[in-house]
Structure 1
């Protein structure tokens, strides 16, 4: 087994190559799913088909563990759901989860398997914000809903230092936007952040560059760009809330980024890691060999999924239990 290196960002205790099941899953996905996602139109019927396809896949390969408690929330303008692992005892800490899938496809429900296992792994309740989706609700609807959910948790009595922001894919972009808005409005920043396969560049230039060396098994950069365009809706991708710039953001929370070595967003993950360090923040980047996009959501398919969540849980506990590290954002760590 190998340890993490600064060059490869290998997670601690992870082999330098994915498991056989992982590599077979990536090959099968590349041969079956990728051709379909690249051809699907971005009209109403295409979007609805994509939503059904992803919902079915998430439920099949990442089901909700038995005994999980789910409580729906509708407290205008906040919509979402509380997800609690069996036997969970309430406490002062909470995870705010921001799901991904191009601002268009997924929901709190599709991610219930992932958030329930995250709750089980961390021992924390997870509130998944069910933000409005494009194309029905273009920019800045999703970003505004995420900001409202964070303020709502503060109003519920949670200390910012005890809130963990977690998210995947487009949820990573929304999470970073939240930090920028918190800084702009003087709102206290969360205590920690964990991102799975975060999207950073909405022009998908970084993804296109990564594709030249290895094609993403699930979708091409061009097809993903068309989906995201339903959210940006004609706005210039260099608009401040669309082009992430963390350079002047104060008190960035300690962050863990996990990304698959087989996916095109590995370039985005590296870029976000570099931005956080350049801003004086603390960030750990883990590149999981041969893994696909948000592999943590697919435990029935990917053996490493649970191991990755264990890493995330350890990071959260270590960060929240150590207030010196938590608030020393000028110290840089690179595992």
Structure 2
């Protein structure tokens, strides 16, 4: 069972002062967070790609590369790469370079993205949303399979027997499929035999169990070894010294960020009652003291089949020292509890 973190490198206004930190400051903070995550024994850190004012990470591979030379063990991944609006050749080159700097710790999470700003920015039409992803994923996988590539498609110029360099340390370079929880996306991942990442950010995580089963059924039908498949979840959360303190620290910035997105997307008002309900045991918000958060992750492993858990923290802008303390608690107190219990449970299952 792997435990890690993800961030979108948000720069929303401070809920107390109203001030907005610079993108540069927040990026430097994230590098410090990745270094600390490595030091406290966490397994993976993901940085998500966005192209808007309130998110600083338009180039996750660059941020991860800055942390790569300062870390030793932690795996470094996008969370996600918006593959539909990117060039698979450049994506592969960027992450193969990251793989070299980190000596084999890079991963790509390939997703469509729930934000659409990158499409007009890079000249793509949203009516091609699904077609772009299918085509570009096909090219990315061909590049990782072979040094020389011949490929043709509708939305990118033809490639005639061209080499793509550098080649990564890992062979093959890990590519995960990011999914918001649609049957089509999990079936695609299963048929390709690729690891799956589920964004479990609302509702009951237990509702994702049928999707995990569907993923494994598709993989088995395609002839892949189901025992080797890995399934990750990405969920909002925060670890504090006590559960109530964690909730009080995490709520203000989360409320601001959720209501900002809610106004854009037509969601209802996000209030403290909504927040408190979402952090109850069977819901998808992982906020609490180390024991509370560990128990929820263990429940996810036993009942949904998740083999990697990524805590998304912060949501909105929180004080850097609060985020660092949460990372420390996750690595030193939550992760050991989870690993010990999951290892014991797996022995019992076998």
**Normalising by structure 2, what TM-score?**
0.34
Q: Tell which has more relative contact order, 1 or 2 (C-alpha 8 A, sep 6+).
A: 1
Q: Which protein is bigger by CA-based radius of gyration?
A: 2
**Normalising by structure 1, what TM-score?**
0.35
